[in-house]
């Protein structure tokens, strides 16, 4: 609850919405949707590494 009322959320929102920074993860599509629904933050520049992870196995 504290983080919602702090400046951290606005800094994090700026980072997530900034297309200059690529946000990378495996199967992160659901996370991006949840962030949009829960916090109304549109995450830009997302790269999903699922296909790359499958090549490694």
The SS3 assignment for 24 reads strand
Domain count, the chain: 1
CA dist., res. 24 & res. 28, Å (int)? 8
Structural domain span for residue 49: 3-56
Note the pLDDT of residue 1. 44
pLDDT in tens, the chain (57 residues): 455 566 667 888 999 999 999 999 999 999 999 999 988 899 999 999 988 877 876
Cα angle for residues 23, 19, 17 (degrees, 5° grid): 80
pTM beyond 0.85: no
Note the pLDDT of residue 55. 81
């Amino acid at each position: 609850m504290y983080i919602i009322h702090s400046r951290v959320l606005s800094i994090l929102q700026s980072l997530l919405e900034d297309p200059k920074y690529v946000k990378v993860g495996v199967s992160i599509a659901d996370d991006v949707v949840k962030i949009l629904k829960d916090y109304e933050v549109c995450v830009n520049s997302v790269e999903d590494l699922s296909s790359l992870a499958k090549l490694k196995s």
